[in-house]
């Protein structure tokens, strides 16, 4: 019967479209016809109370539940003075029309108003609809924060979705018209174009999807393919792929003539072209976002290899990108299915293997000559390298005369050489002193005290500090008042003031480079002094400005060396001052952090000499305690990697790091300080990790994966099938690879899952065991997903459930497995298989809606096949329980609610969902009662009958006892079915000693015993047929040939006379010619003939009763056995709400 469903299913969509088209044509004729018989206003009701009630009712909802009352009021009320108010109320009420019935009910009501008031109501109402579906203004959106804008877009989509559907219907039925005699196709195309054109975030894309789902046929001329997915019973396995591969070549049948179309052909073609162009734009953006996501994933992976963790900002950015990409991909897939256009080919994620191989340039999206891609680089990534190394040369932007650079002469060259020589010698001397101090520190390090410094070092440090001037650090002062907005700065001083005021906002490389060029044009000694003073007074809470200010200094330093020298000297003096005040911890913590960060950034720009930063590191290492530990951590985090991997400082800084690790191991530091040092050390010197080795697969496995993942398509499925059949199926490795590929449907494209099920169906003819193993593994994966409920596997679980539905469509499993899976999804993990409202279950929390998604996916895949017979009844029962399960959850999110509405409308368009959990619970209770009554389950009134029922229960029902004795007792007490009295027919039935199941028919043992006795009786009858005496033969002949009515009368008389006079009457049949005659003979009841005859009659009666019971239960046996599981799950207990 299931196979015969393919024919009506094939034309279901086209039939529905034709029905809708006929309704629209009929309503359009009514709307466009001239109203010849208008109702007289005097006969209509003008009551203010009824008019107010109508407006209130319309404002609440225009759905199908209010349609009859609204229509009645429109026909009986005057409404002339209230057309404007009714128009505004109708627009508000349209936002609550969710289903197709609600939309059509609203269209009929609006059509009635249009026919009565075509001039006073319709123009104003169309204007209100146009405003309701218009996009929000850019000025308004610019004032909103990103989070507020996202919420505004979400609420706008919910509000505009039903209004667009109503507008589309009104444009088809002649209420909205582009011009007299034309449809409203141009109106809808303009509205959709306005929503999509000014939407860079693609927030209005769901509105287009909603429009195309219902109106792609009348507005775009797109007809869905007529081929059905259900496999017919006559199709041979192995031949299905040929028919599907050639199905696209047959084209799409035209169901309507051009004269019958509701939208003009020109408008349809332009509308379709516009939608296809928009799909191309969305596809291009999808490819771009896909590449960006892969690039971000590669960077995150490299960062994880370097530092062992991914920072929170990177992680949040990646999660946000992933969420946006998944949303865009889902929308693009929906458009692809609705427009019947292929999805863009996304680049394969080859960057996964390349991103692991740090140090190679294969597959890199960055410059190939960058040392930032190697693990030994002194830069974290390419962006950081460009920031610190790509310094612009001011000569390219500023004239040499402005910079004070003249043509070089021989004397200048010689002076420069001498100065360079003196500088190199001075640096060498400083380095030599530093190395000697470091050696002394290493020798005395083992005997150092907790402070880690000798008396001589303290004395030397005190001399250095006392000889240095004491700066007075403070916050920057307002040097000049803010500029007047009316007057632009004129002189150099005002220009410099304006430039310095802009510097706190220069937080990008482009802005700071432009600021350097602007300052070069204002170069003077006074300007440089003001800049130095400004740089040394950076606010303590603006540490984000330090890298950009350091870049500004690095750009100016080659031509204005006094800027870098003065700032470095000022920072050095400040560091010495802070060392002197190291006992002041909290008050100067931010100042210390700013000082170290500024020095570190200038070090990476090579403005601070290497010996100076190493000396600062050594000073902190001498006094290895208190704030110096935090200073060391800051130095390591900011410039430790640079110092450790630069050629000039590599050896000396590595020795200092080793000394720091030894001191850290000898001293007892608190946990916070230990973590600071450990994190800083591994950030500047991360452990070396080799690239992850790529998994090596044998050629056969690569070939199979290539066939399934790359080649498989509708046109190539026949080729793939032939190649798979040519494989060596006797090889266990080949079978293992095929089983692994076929049981992981989430690794292929979602649209190709049906093709994978088709391949499994075709292979069933040649490898039936393989198809069975695939089905078993899929069921096991679904069960494991319910047991674990891991968020990261949700996409896999969706693909697995989709694959299960496709396997049913191709007749690889029965409907019983589908319904078992559906029931297990809504009941698994809940106590006694019954979910309760807001009951926290670890594997199915009230705020976890993923199981609802699984049910919707399975219903969308194969729910259309359960539309008749017992399967329709099973699906109705499941939906009843499913609605109760939904009410046990928290309020559904918008996307889950829309998915649920679409899925239920697809399988049961006229089914109404209960509004409250109480109504859902009552419906479930009624469903259980009806189902158990249909199974013949009747309770006994006494305790003794309950015990007899348990004693007589066969072994096949032992699985019901596994639910626990307590649950069974509770079920028997609370069962509403067991409160009913037993059937009166049970008292008059004579049963044998081995009684079959009282409720569900005889079991296997009773049937086997009956067959054995029947065979024995036949054998005895045939063997002893000649040995029967004459009287017994006459009795048997008498019972066989006497008419039933006469024989029944004879039996009744026999019973009466047997009781009264102890005689038994026998009827003798005689025949004369063609006439039969009977006469009675009285025989004593104690005679052998009477006793044997009486015994034979009683045995016949018992056998007839047993055969009657078998015949009556035969057709219901299969359904009754399935309902045994339902009884075990529910135990016939009503679902009661607590609290």
Highest-confidence segment of 99-113, 216-230, 336-350, 874-888: 874-888
Using only the alpha carbons of the chain, give its radius of gyration.
45
- Provide φ and ψ at 115, rounded to 5°: -70, -30
Mean pLDDT, rounded, for 30-35 = 70
Q: State yes or no: pLDDT of 482 exceeds 50.
A: no
Write out the two tokens for 539: 């606010």
Mean pLDDT, rounded, for 393-408 = 73
- Residue 1075 in 3-state DSSP? strand
- Give residue 890's pLDDT band: very low, low, confident or very high (50, 70, 90): very high
Strand segments (E) across 592-680: none
The closest alpha carbon to 685, from 652, 624, 637, belongs to 637
Q: State yes or no: pLDDT of 823 exceeds 70.
A: yes
Which bin fits 811, alpha (ψ -120 to 50), beta or left (φ > 0)?
Answer: left
Residue burial 207-244, b: 16+ Cβ < 10 Å; e: rest = bbbbbbebbbbbbbbbbeeeebbbbeeeeebbebbeeb
Q: Among 221-230, 697-706, 728-737, which stretch is predicted with the lowest mean pLDDT?
A: 221-230
The closest alpha carbon to 522, from 505, 502, 536, 537, belongs to 502
Which bin fits 800, alpha (ψ -120 to 50), beta or left (φ > 0)?
Answer: alpha
CA distance 452 to 624: 6
**What's the chain's average pLDDT?**
76
pLDDT, tens only, 1112-1126: 666 566 677 667 766
Q: What pLDDT, on a 0 to 100 scale, did the predictor assign at position 567?
A: 92
Write out the two tokens for 311: 């920072």
DSSP 941: S
Mean pLDDT, rounded, for 678-695 = 81
Write out the two tokens for 844: 């199915």
- Residue 212 in 3-state DSSP? helix
- Provide φ and ψ at 687, rounded to 5°: -65, 145
Q: What pLDDT, on a 0 to 100 scale, did the predictor assign at position 1086?
A: 80
Q: What pLDDT, on a 0 to 100 scale, did the predictor assign at position 128?
A: 87
- Give residue 764's pLDDT band: very low, low, confident or very high (50, 70, 90): very high
Write out the two tokens for 61: 């909802």
- Give residue 774's pLDDT band: very low, low, confident or very high (50, 70, 90): very high
**CA count, 13 A, side-chain hemisphere, 86:** 25
- Give residue 889's pLDDT band: very low, low, confident or very high (50, 70, 90): very high
Q: State yes or no: pLDDT of 423 exceeds 90.
A: no
- Residue 1017 in 3-state DSSP? helix
Write out the two tokens for 616: 């600062």
Q: Who has greater pLDDT, 497 or 256? A: 497
Query: To the nearest whole percent, how much of the chain has pLDDT over 90?
Result: 22
Q: What pLDDT, on a 0 to 100 scale, did the predictor assign at position 308?
A: 66
Q: What pLDDT, on a 0 to 100 scale, did the predictor assign at position 775?
A: 95
Q: What pLDDT, on a 0 to 100 scale, did the predictor assign at position 153?
A: 82
Q: Is 339 exposed, middle or buried (0-12, 13-18, 19+ CB in 10 A)?
A: middle
Q: Among 522-536, 672-686, 963-977, which stretch is predicted with the lowest mean pLDDT?
A: 963-977
Q: What pLDDT, on a 0 to 100 scale, did the predictor assign at position 812?
A: 92
Mean pLDDT, rounded, for 437-458 = 44
Q: Who has greater pLDDT, 808 or 582? A: 808
CA distance 847 to 900: 16
**Angle in degrees, 0-180, between the axes of helices 768-788 and 815-827, rounded to the nearest 10:** 10
Mean pLDDT, rounded, for 1043-1053 = 53
Which bin fits 838, alpha (ψ -120 to 50), beta or left (φ > 0)?
Answer: left
Q: Are 680 and 630 in contact (CB under 8 A)?
A: no
pLDDT, tens only, 219-241: 888 765 544 444 444 445 445 44
Mean pLDDT, rounded, for 378-402 = 85
The closest alpha carbon to 1004, from 935, 956, 958, belongs to 956
Q: What pLDDT, on a 0 to 100 scale, did the predictor assign at position 979?
A: 36
State how far the alpha carbon of 326 is from the alpha carbons of 319, 455, 747, 748, 899, in Å: 11, 65, 16, 16, 16
Q: Among 54-63, 790-799, 1027-1036, which stretch is predicted with the lowest mean pLDDT?
A: 1027-1036
The closest alpha carbon to 276, from 220, 322, 233, 349, belongs to 220
pLDDT, tens only, 298-354: 888 777 777 666 777 778 888 888 888 888 888 888 888 888 888 888 876 543 333
Q: State yes or no: pLDDT of 260 exceeds 50.
A: yes
Q: Are 668 and 633 in contact (CB under 8 A)?
A: no
Q: Among 478-482, 657-661, 886-890, 907-911, which stretch is predicted with the lowest mean pLDDT?
A: 478-482
- Give residue 1066's pLDDT band: very low, low, confident or very high (50, 70, 90): confident
pLDDT, tens only, 1082-1108: 778 787 778 888 888 888 888 888 887
Write out the two tokens for 978: 């067991």
Q: State yes or no: pLDDT of 290 exceeds 60.
A: yes
**CA count, 13 A, side-chain hemisphere, 352:** 6
CA distance 901 to 899: 6
Q: What pLDDT, on a 0 to 100 scale, did the predictor assign at position 1130?
A: 58
Other residues' Cβ atoms within 10 Å of the Cβ of residue 1112: 11
pLDDT, tens only, 349-365: 543 333 333 233 333 33
Q: Are 597 and 543 in contact (CB under 8 A)?
A: yes
Give the H or E element holding residue 657: helix 650-666
Q: Are 622 and 461 in contact (CB under 8 A)?
A: yes
pLDDT, tens only, 152-209: 888 888 888 888 888 888 888 888 888 887 888 888 888 888 888 877 778 888 888 8
Mean pLDDT, rounded, for 927-949 = 57
Q: What pLDDT, on a 0 to 100 scale, did the predictor assign at position 1132?
A: 42
CA distance 209 to 850: 22
pLDDT, tens only, 903-912: 999 999 988 8
Q: Who has greater pLDDT, 40 or 114? A: 114
Q: What pLDDT, on a 0 to 100 scale, did the predictor assign at position 968?
A: 37
């Amino acid at each position: 019967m299931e196979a015969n469903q393919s024919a009506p299913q094939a034309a279901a969509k086209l039939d529905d479209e034709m029905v809708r088209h006929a309704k629209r044509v009929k309503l359009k004729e009514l709307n466009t016809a001239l109203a010849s018989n208008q109702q007289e206003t005097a006969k209509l009701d003008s009551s203010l109370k009824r008019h107010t009630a109508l407006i209130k009712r319309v404002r609440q909802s225009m759905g199908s539940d209010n349609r009859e009352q609204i229509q009645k009021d429109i026909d009986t009320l005057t409404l002339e003075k209230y057309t404007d108010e009714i128009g505004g109320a109708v627009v508000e009420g349209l936002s609550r029309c969710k289903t197709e019935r609600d939309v059509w009910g609203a269209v009929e009501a609006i059509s009635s108003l249009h026919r009565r008031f075509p001039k006073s109501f319709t123009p104003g109402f169309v204007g209100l609809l146009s405003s309701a579906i218009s996009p929000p203004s850019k000025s308004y959106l610019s004032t909103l924060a990103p989070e507020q804008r996202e919420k505004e877009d979400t609420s706008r989509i919910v509000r505009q979705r039903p209004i667009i559907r109503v507008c589309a219907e009104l444009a088809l039925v002649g209420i909205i018209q582009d011009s007299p005699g034309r449809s409203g196709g141009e109106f809808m195309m303009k509205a959709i174009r306005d929503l999509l054109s000014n939407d860079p975030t693609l927030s209005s894309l769901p509105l287009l999807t909603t429009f195309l789902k219902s109106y792609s046929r009348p507005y775009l001329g797109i007809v869905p393919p007529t081929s059905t997915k259900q496999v017919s019973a006559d199709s041979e396995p192995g031949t299905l792929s040929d028919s599907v591969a050639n199905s696209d070549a047959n084209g799409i049948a035209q169901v309507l003539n051009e004269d019958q179309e509701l939208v003009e052909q020109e408008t349809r073609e332009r509308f379709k072209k516009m939608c296809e162009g928009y799909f191309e734009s969305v596809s291009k953006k999808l490819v771009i976002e896909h590449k960006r996501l892969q690039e971000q994933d590669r960077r995150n992976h490299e960062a994880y290899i370097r530092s062992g963790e991914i920072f929170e900002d990177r992680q949040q950015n990646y999660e946000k990108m992933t969420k946006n990409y998944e949303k865009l991909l889902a929308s693009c897939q929906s458009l692809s299915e609705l427009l019947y256009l292929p999805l863009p080919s996304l680049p394969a994620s080859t960057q996964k293997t390349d991103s692991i191989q740090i140090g190679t340039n294969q597959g890199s999206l960055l410059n190939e000559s960058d040392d930032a891609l190697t693990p030994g680089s002194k830069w974290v990534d390419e962006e950081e390298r460009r920031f610190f190394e790509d310094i612009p040369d001011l000569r390219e932007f500023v004239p040499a005369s402005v910079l004070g650079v003249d043509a070089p002469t021989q004397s200048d060259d010689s002076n420069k050489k001498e100065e360079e020589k003196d500088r190199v010698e001075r640096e060498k001397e400083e380095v030599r002193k530093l190395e000697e101090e470091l050696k002394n520190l290493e020798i005395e390090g083992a005997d150092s005290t907790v402070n880690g410094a000798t008396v001589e070092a303290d004395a030397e440090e005190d001399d250095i500090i006392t000889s240095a001037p004491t700066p007075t650090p403070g916050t920057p002062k307002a040097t000049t008042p803010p500029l007047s907005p009316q007057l632009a700065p004129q002189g150099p001083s005002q220009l410099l003031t304006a430039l310095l005021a802009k510097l706190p906002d220069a937080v990008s490389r482009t802005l700071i480079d432009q600021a350097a060029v602007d300052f070069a044009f204002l170069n003077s000694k006074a300007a440089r002094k003001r800049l130095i003073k400004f740089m040394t007074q950076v606010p303590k809470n603006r540490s984000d400005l330090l890298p950009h200010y350091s870049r500004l200094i690095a750009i100016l330093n080659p031509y204005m060396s006094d800027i870098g020298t003065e700032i470095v000297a000022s920072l050095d003096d400040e560091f010495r001052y802070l060392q002197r005040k190291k006992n002041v911890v909290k008050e100067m913590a931010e100042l210390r952090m700013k000082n170290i960060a500024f020095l570190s950034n200038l070090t990476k720009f090579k403005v601070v000499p290497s010996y100076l930063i190493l000396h600062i590191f050594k000073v902190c290492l001498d006094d290895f305690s208190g704030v110096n530990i935090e200073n060391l951590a800051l130095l390591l985090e900011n410039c430790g990697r640079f110092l450790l991997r630069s050629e000039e400082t590599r050896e000396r800084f590595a020795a200092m790091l080793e000394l720091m690790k030894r001191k850290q191991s000898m001293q007892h530091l608190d946990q916070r300080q230990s973590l600071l040092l450990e994190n800083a050390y591994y950030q500047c010197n991360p452990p070396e990790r080799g690239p992850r080795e790529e998994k090596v697969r044998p050629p056969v496995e690569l070939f199979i994966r290539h066939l399934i993942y790359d080649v498989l398509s509708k046109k190539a499925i026949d080729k793939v099938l032939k190649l798979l059949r040519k494989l060596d199926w006797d090889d266990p490795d080949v079978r293992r690879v095929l089983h692994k590929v076929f049981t992981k449907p989430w690794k292929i494209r979602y649209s190709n899952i049906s093709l994978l099920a088709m391949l499994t169906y075709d292979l069933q003819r040649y490898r039936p065991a393989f198809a069975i193993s695939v089905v078993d593994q899929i069921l096991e994966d679904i069960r494991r997903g319910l047991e674990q409920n891991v968020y990261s596997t949700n996409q896999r679980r969706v693909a697995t459930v989709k694959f299960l539905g496709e396997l049913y469509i191709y007749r690889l499993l029965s409907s019983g497995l589908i319904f078992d899976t559906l029931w297990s999804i809504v009941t698994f993990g809940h106590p006694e298989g019954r979910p309760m409202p807001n009951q926290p279950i670890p594997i199915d929390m009230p705020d976890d809606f993923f199981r609802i998604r699984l049910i919707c996916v399975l219903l969308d895949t194969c729910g259309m096949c359960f539309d008749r017979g017992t399967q329709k009844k099973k699906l109705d029962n499941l939906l009843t329980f499913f609605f109760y399960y939904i009410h046990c959850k928290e309020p559904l999110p918008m996307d889950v609610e829309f998915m649920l509405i679409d899925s239920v409308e697809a399988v049961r368009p006229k089914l109404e969902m209960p509004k409250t959990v109480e109504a859902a619970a009552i419906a479930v209770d009624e469903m259980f009662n009806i189902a158990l009554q249909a199974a013949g389950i009747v309770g006994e009134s006494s305790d003794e009958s309950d015990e007899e029922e348990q004693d007589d229960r066969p072994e096949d029902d032992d699985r019901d006892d596994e639910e626990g004795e307590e649950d069974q007792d509770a079920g028997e007490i609370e069962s509403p079915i067991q409160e009913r009295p037993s059937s009166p027919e049970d008292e008059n039935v004579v049963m044998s000693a081995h009684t079959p199941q009282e409720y569900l028919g005889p079991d296997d043992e009773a049937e086997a015993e009956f067959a054995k006795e029947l065979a024995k009786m036949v054998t005895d009858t045939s063997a002893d047929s000649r040995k029967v005496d004459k009287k017994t033969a006459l009795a048997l002949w008498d019972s066989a040939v006497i008419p039933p009515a006469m024989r029944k009368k004879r039996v009744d008389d026999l019973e009466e006379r047997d009781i009264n006079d102890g005689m038994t009457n026998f009827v003798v049949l005689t025949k004369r010619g063609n006439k039969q005659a009977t006469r009675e003979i009285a025989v004593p009841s104690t005679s052998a003939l009477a006793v044997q005859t009486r015994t034979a009659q009683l045995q016949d009666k018992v056998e007839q009763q047993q055969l009657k019971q078998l015949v009556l239960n035969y057709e219901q046996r299969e359904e009754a056995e399935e309902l045994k599981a339902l009884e075990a799950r529910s135990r016939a207990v009503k679902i009661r709400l607590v609290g």
